Amino acid sequence: MLKRAVKLFASVVLILLLPGAYAEESYRLGNGIQLGKTPLYLGGYFSLDYWHNLKGTSELELDEASVMLYGNHGAWGMMAEVEFTDAYRRRFGFNAETTSDLTPHTERVFIYYEPSEYYRVSVGKFNTPVGYWNKMPINVLRDTTSSPRIVEVIFPRYTTGLNMKYTGENSGANLLIQATPDLDSAFSAKDIYNNFDIEKQFGLGVQFRQERWSFGMNAGGYEERIEEEKWGYLYASAQYRSEQTHVMAETGYRRNEKNMRSNYGGYLQGTQLIYAQQFVVMRLEYTTEYIQNSEDSSAVIGYVYRPLFPVAVKGEYQFHSHENEDILIVSFSMLF
């Protein structure tokens, strides 16, 4: 299976490099390859991860192997991204096994119309514009390999529908609507590429900016496709960014329509430049999970080395309040 995964990855790289002979400009890593004289670019990214926990289990995986086609012409633009989420996975220690899943998933497929710098309308499947973390879908651009738990348990990470956005000088707002199943259900109905399998959703968000600070508030609701259970959520976020320091904080709460189940959580993460292209990261988290009727507090300490903008080497250690859930994660990620 490893050979199969390597062949797949090599094929993806070849697909990305072959059009370079027709590119109008020389290729720069991370910028994609222009397809001839068209406004379209072909790119991609991947992440190779290794983790080890205190239960004696380790895992090596080729994660987030994606191919992207994107571009714009005038006020119109598009993005089409296909991802292989579990192209290769090798588990060591207890329950050792090797698996390979080459099922392609639609992560982002949308078109947009942007008549000016203030207005933009997107139609298709895209990252739900809630908070800051969920707007960074590519691993290499984030400061840790892992994601805060809260972005997985409060709102749907992806929307298949319509998003209307206004961006002013110091403020902005957006309205999103979904009235169909996830786009990925048309290709892989048994394994939807979303944290919630939904068919209806609405949401409203507002954002404010003041020099190095920015703030956001979101409210919305969604209906799960199979269970037909309806949920509502509230979400707040804040961010500070300078040349050497980056601080993010997000908190959210959701409950079902009958007010019988709910969960909430939040995180605070800080990143500090310590030397050229080298950063230290610390994140504190707290989440509740109604299904398990439990809660979890965790702390993440990490290191990031970025020799080039589209390349990242990361290491992190997670301390959890639950016994034997501490994890060490090391990754190498790249954007083509």
For 213-262, write each residue's pLDDT tens digit.
999 999 999 999 888 899 999 999 999 999 999 999 999 999 998 878 89
- What's the pLDDT score for residue 166? 98
Q: Residue 293 — pLDDT band, cuts 50, 70, 90?
A: low
**Does residue 22 or residue 112 have the better pLDDT?**
112
What integer is the mean pLDDT of 40-46? 95
What integer is the mean pLDDT of 134-146? 93
Q: Reply yes or no on whether the pLDDT at 60 is more than 90.
A: yes
- What's the pLDDT score for residue 290? 66
- What's the pLDDT score for residue 292? 58
For 259-275, write each residue's pLDDT tens digit.
788 999 999 999 999 99
Average pLDDT of the chain, as a whole number: 89
For 150-174, write each residue's pLDDT tens digit.
999 999 999 999 999 999 999 999 9
Q: Reply yes or no on whether the pLDDT at 39 is more than 60.
A: yes
What integer is the mean pLDDT of 89-118? 90
- Write a three-state SS string for the chain: CHHHHHHHHHHHHHHHHHHHHHCCCCCCCCCCEECCCCCEEEEEEEEEEEEEECCCEEEEEEEEEEEEEEEEECCEEEEEEEEECEEEEEEEECCCEEEEECCCEEEEEEEEECCCCCEEEEEEEEECCCCCHHHCCCHHHCCCCCCCCHHHHCCCCEEEEEEEEEECCCEEEEEEEECCCCHHHHCCCCCCCCCCCEEEEEEEEEEEEECCEEEEEEEEEEEECCCCCEEEEEEEEEEEECCCEEEEEEEEEEEECCCCCEEEEEEEEEEEEEECCEEEEEEEEEEEECCCCEEEEEEEEEEEECCCCCEEEEEEEEEECCCCCCEEEEEEEEEC
What integer is the mean pLDDT of 292-314? 89
pTM: 0.89
**Does residue 171 or residue 56 have the better pLDDT?**
171
Q: Residue 1 — pLDDT band, cuts 50, 70, 90?
A: very low
- What's the pLDDT score for residue 242? 96
What integer is the mean pLDDT of 308-316? 94
For 6-30, write each residue's pLDDT tens digit.
444 445 444 444 444 444 457 888 8
The architecture that CATH gives domain 2-335 is Beta Barrel (2.40)
